[in-house]
């Protein structure tokens, strides 16, 4: 069956959804995102729809469908589990010359919801003659090709973002960058990259993209961080779109706040794209939960780049006295002093420890020891050190 594909601009327009099950739960958020004024008519709805109604995102009338519910609607979705009700809803919509999608019968439906994906400002919708599985398969293939760069969606210079994007690239595996981060990276004209950012991501960039290695910025009368801030601001003021690419999440011991402040103080537009922090993703990649029901109910993430002592802002004694999981970043060099401080605070020497090196990458290595042996156990940067009962519960993945 042939259809005429069209995009509906529903902003501010009334949409009727009859039924509150899983189909409605999947379709309604997209309608809300399009700006529609959604009325859901159903005796019961999913938790998602109930939460949206409580938040004022939609109107929910807790009852069955009645003739006349669709009066004034620009679009109707019939999504009950009763074919007779769906047929009645569709018949009324047709009488009102309102397009209606029936979730239960594609052949009897006057309109279809197409399988849709979006990437880098491009929306792709797929129709497959009423076969939703085939449409979804094609949609997924297109989405994968767009994300991998095998299918290009070039943007004009006019539509390129402005200013700076602070992008967290995740704990190590290039596939763990967020979709938003990848979208912005593909549009970058300048990339200021850390050595812990997945270097494979840089291979996605065109030859005309300037790549600034943050580790090689020259030292002068300013610190390296000030040089990084200066480069970002200068390039942005030249009219170029800059991506600051960092491993993990730039706001977890990554000086992201300093970079944000530098852009704001310079009047440069800036967007923050969070990344998966290695403090949680690293242990997870080794099968270690930082919390677990019945085992531990809290965890603390601390930086170990400064050893215990007057210069450290961490209360190591308090961490030693507690029972929660302790996750250490940048602590390989000072691990012996940290272990001693935790034991002085009361943490038993036989507390399980796991060291996850190069987490999520092909070089991931996991080492086991007890807290008393942490200082003499082999460890190499970059590593996440997990201390506590959960460290004994790692799974072989």
Residues marked as catalytic: 194, 216
Q: Rounded to an integer, what is the distance from CA 198 to the centroid of its chain?
A: 16
Distance CA 58, CA 10 (A): 14
């Amino acid at each position: 069956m042939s259809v005429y594909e069209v995009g509906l601009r529903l902003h501010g327009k009334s949409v009727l959804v009859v039924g509150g099950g899983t189909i409605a739960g999947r379709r309604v958020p997209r309608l809300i995102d399009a700006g529609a004024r959604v009325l859901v008519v159903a005796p019961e709805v999913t938790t998602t729809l109930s939460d949206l109604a409580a938040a004022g995102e939609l109107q929910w009338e807790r009852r069955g469908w009645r003739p006349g519910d669709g009066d004034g609607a620009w679009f109707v979705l019939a999504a009950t589990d009763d074919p007779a009700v769906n047929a009645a809803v569709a018949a009324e919509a047709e009488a009102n010359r309102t397009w209606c999608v029936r979730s239960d019968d594609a052949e009897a439906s006057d309109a279809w919801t197409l399988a849709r994906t979006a990437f880098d400002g491009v929306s792709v919708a797929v129709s497959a003659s009423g076969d939703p599985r085939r449409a979804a398969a094609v949609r997924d293939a297109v989405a994968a090709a767009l994300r991998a760069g095998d299918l290009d969606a070039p943007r004009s210079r006019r539509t390129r973002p402005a200013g700076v994007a602070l992008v967290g690239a995740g704990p190590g595996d290039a596939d763990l960058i967020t979709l938003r981060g990848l979208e912005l990276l593909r549009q970058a004209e300048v990339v200021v990259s850390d050595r812990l950012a997945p270097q494979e991501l840089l291979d996605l960039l065109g030859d005309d993209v300037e790549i600034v290695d943050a580790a090689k910025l020259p030292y002068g009368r300013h610190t390296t961080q000030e040089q990084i801030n200066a480069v970002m601001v200068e390039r942005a003021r030249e009219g170029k779109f800059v991506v600051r690419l960092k491993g993990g999440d730039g706001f977890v011991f990554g000086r992201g706040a300093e970079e944000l402040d530098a852009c704001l103080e310079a009047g440069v537009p800036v967007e923050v794209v969070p990344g998966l922090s290695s403090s949680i993703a690293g242990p997870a990649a080794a099968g270690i939960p930082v919390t677990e029901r019945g085992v531990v109910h809290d965890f603390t993430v601390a930086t170990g780049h400064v050893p215990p002592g007057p210069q450290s802002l961490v209360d190591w004694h308090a961490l030693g006295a507690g029972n929660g999981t302790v996750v250490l970043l940048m602590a390989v060099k000072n691990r012996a002093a940290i272990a001693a401080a935790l034991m002085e605070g009361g943490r038993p020497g036989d507390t399980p420890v796991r060291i996850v090196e190069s987490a999520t990458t092909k070089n991931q290595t996991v080492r086991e020891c007890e807290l008393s042996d942490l200082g003499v156990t082999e460890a190499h940067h970059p590593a996440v050190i997990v201390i506590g009962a959960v460290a004994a519960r790692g799974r072989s993945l």
